[in-house]
Amino acid sequence: MVVPGSHHREDKIYHPPEDLKKDAHVPDFYSYLALYKKSVDEPEVFWREVAAEFYWKKPATGPILQYNFDVTKGNIYVKCMEGAKTNMCYNVLDRNVKDRNLGEKVAYYWEGNSPDHSMAITYSQLLSQVCRCANVLKQMGVKKGDRVAIYMPMIPELVYTMLACARIGAVHSIVFAGYSSESLCERILDAQCCIVVTADGVYRGQKLINLKQIVEEALEKSRDKVSPTVTRCLVVKNHSLRTKSGEASNKLQIPWDAERDVWWDEVMADVSDDCEPEWLDAEDPLFILYTSGSTGKPKGVLHTVAGYMLYTSLTFKYVFDHHHDDVYWCTADIGWITGHSYITYGPLANGATGVLFEGLPVYPHVGRFWEIIEKYKVTKFYTAPTAIRLLMKYGKEPVQKYNLSSLRILGTVGEPINPEAWLWYYEVVGQSRCPVVDTFWQTETGGHVLTPLPAATPLKPGSATFPFFGVEPTILNEHGEELEGEAEGYLVFRRPWPGIMRTVYGNQERFENQYFKKFPGFYVTGDGCRRDKDGYYWITGRIDDMLNVSGHLMSTAEVEAALTKHAAVAEAAVVSRPHVVKGECLYCFVTLKDSREFNHKLVEELKGLVRERIGPIATPDFIQNAPGLPKTRSGKIMRRVLRQIARNEKDLGDLSTLADPKVVEVLFSQRCEAAA
């Protein structure tokens, strides 16, 4: 790594602002390099210093990190601080209230879908609610190690529930509340959850969604499967559906099973707000979070207590250069890893004040984000490229209507950010004062792995720059050979850091096959990557059959499986096509069964089917009739060719392996110009 000196227009470098350096945790690039060196040369010393800030019921007896990353030498494993006992919830709440005197500090400013709904929650109040919820869960029969499914909107009760699980050693499995009943059912069954915590409903913009009904359908579907596991359901009355006087402002009809279901408000009123934390082993599970797998079946990524705690806390502190007076806002949903790590655990571990937002970027008006930044004087703001591209469409005016002078640092996550969006974010939102930290990471990595540090790293728009402490990236070619200097290939990591996933829940074999088989000795991210002459890393996107739509990963296989559920469809193949706001969108080719007609009604049915089976985030933009698909002689679909047809790229290169090249012409002649 070298400090770059180039000033050509195409790779203009944005240096950290001086005022940020004054009190920064890592004030310049040389400090970053020195700390980075320490983290890889002396990981024991480095992580022990980080661990010293936390409360341990029992200290670690073994080394900080033990691992095997080489499948040829036996099972893959990572262990952090073996022998230690601690509790995540105690560390993010009790420690702040009791040891750091932060009880009266605001933990969250909650802002509802409607600007009329908001509240502030202090650390003491949060602790009290979490303890009550922990007692409720215990009363409902939840024990250490049990899995708890959470299907909730962005309301404070979501945070209470996840921390309550952490407190009693139950393993939360949060399912994004935009997923369909089918997806929820699949996740409940895979993790064998014993209880679902949900809410009656939620407004997304003006649309009212009946969450309890979706849970009902998921549980009904699970009853058809071999082993239904859920015996209880805890239901929050979402107060943002109600007027200030408590009256329901909607006509939600929710299904109710008196044996199984209980209202949150009723049970919370009757329990104590005192709950002794369960002292867990460092490597006990903390949560499962499902992410799409290339086979179509989601993978339950498992994270454990101590390593995830150290890593989310440290990345939050350094990447957002956290200080006591900050007001931090991450716009992600807690249903994704970004919310787990950087709305709940990382910020709370640092005693931060965060914004918790239930709503949408453009409701009730397109300046909502900027209005909230002004309202709470947000200093650090973290969002996704897709949101930036969406808001860019409305121009500068909605941004300039608000006072954004509180902002100090901007962040992005979820997908590669195009330089145009980066520059707009930097110049219009950050008024050219605020560094943009482009953080590359994954559900699997637990926290940021490639990222700038705001006061230290000179930025290049579109590059996630350099590795975080303890992370050792490298780039391999197809043969698994390491590439030095300027290069492009597979992004892999040579060794673990504390926050990396431990296994795929219930499927160690899949864990090893997915991430460690291809290149023994390395964790394989599935992303392509380029390193430039200055050592900067640039993520080029997925190099497997995964798609990234608006920052949400999904597999071609899961969408194809949904499409082929339709009685008229014989075969389906899904590829991505660039989209100005979503980054990528879905372009689907469907081959119909004999005698079935391709028409508008069918297209609508297919879109509905995908929405129903996966969720609205997976709704296809394009569906094309494909009398035949381009296949090799051995019958494998050539996705490269389909991708080029979807993008209207006429130069198809070598088609000699195709069984029937004429198919391509037909597909070109029928391609969709406009979105369906």
Residues near ligand PRX (CB under 6 A): 291, 337-338, 413-416, 438-443, 464, 525-527, 539, 542, 548, 553
Q: Smallest distance, Å, CB 225 to ligand PRX?
A: 26
Q: Smallest distance, Å, CB 247 to ligand PRX?
A: 39
What contacts 161, CB < 8 A, 6 or more positions away?
A: 133, 137, 148, 150, 152, 172, 197, 234
Give the nearer residue to ligand PRX in terms of CB position, either 54 or 515.
515
Give the nearer residue to ligand PRX in terms of CB position, either 113 or 291.
291
- Chain centroid, CA 110 distance in Å: 20
Longest dimension (CA), the chain: 73
* List of E strands, 314-432: 327-330, 353-357, 380-383, 409-413
Give the nearer residue to ligand PRX in terms of CB position, either 337 or 559.
337
**Residue nearest to ligand PRX as judged by C-beta position:** 443
Q: Smallest distance, Å, CB 272 to ligand PRX?
A: 37
Q: Smallest distance, Å, CB 312 to ligand PRX?
A: 12
DSSP letter, residue 174: E
> How far apart are alpha carbons 380 and 293 in whole angstroms?
32
Instruction: Scan for tokens 């902002």, then name that residue.
Output: 407
Instruction: Scan for tokens 């919370």, then name that residue.
Output: 268
Give the nearer residue to ligand PRX in terms of CB position, either 203 or 505.
505
Do residues 280 and 57 touch, judged by C-beta distance below 8 A? no
Give the nearer residue to ligand PRX in terms of CB position, either 491 or 606.
491
Give the nearer residue to ligand PRX in terms of CB position, either 495 or 530.
530
Length of the chain: 676
Give the nearer residue to ligand PRX in terms of CB position, either 91 or 463.
463
Q: Smallest distance, Å, CB 414 to ligand PRX?
A: 5
Q: Smallest distance, Å, CB 543 to ligand PRX?
A: 9
* DSSP 3-state of 85: strand
Q: Smallest distance, Å, CB 553 to ligand PRX?
A: 4
> How far apart are alpha carbons 648 and 587 in whole angstroms?
12
What contacts 672, CB < 8 A, 6 or more positions away?
A: 587, 622, 623, 624
Give the nearer residue to ligand PRX in terms of CB position, either 87 or 383.
383
Q: Smallest distance, Å, CB 341 to ligand PRX?
A: 8
Q: Smallest distance, Å, CB 11 to ligand PRX?
A: 17
Do residues 128 and 160 touch, judged by C-beta distance below 8 A? no
* DSSP 3-state of 147: strand
Q: Count CB-CB contacts under 10 A for residue 414.
A: 23
What contacts 43, CB < 8 A, 6 or more positions away?
A: 64, 65, 470
* DSSP 3-state of 547: strand
Give the nearer residue to ligand PRX in terms of CB position, either 383 or 624.
383
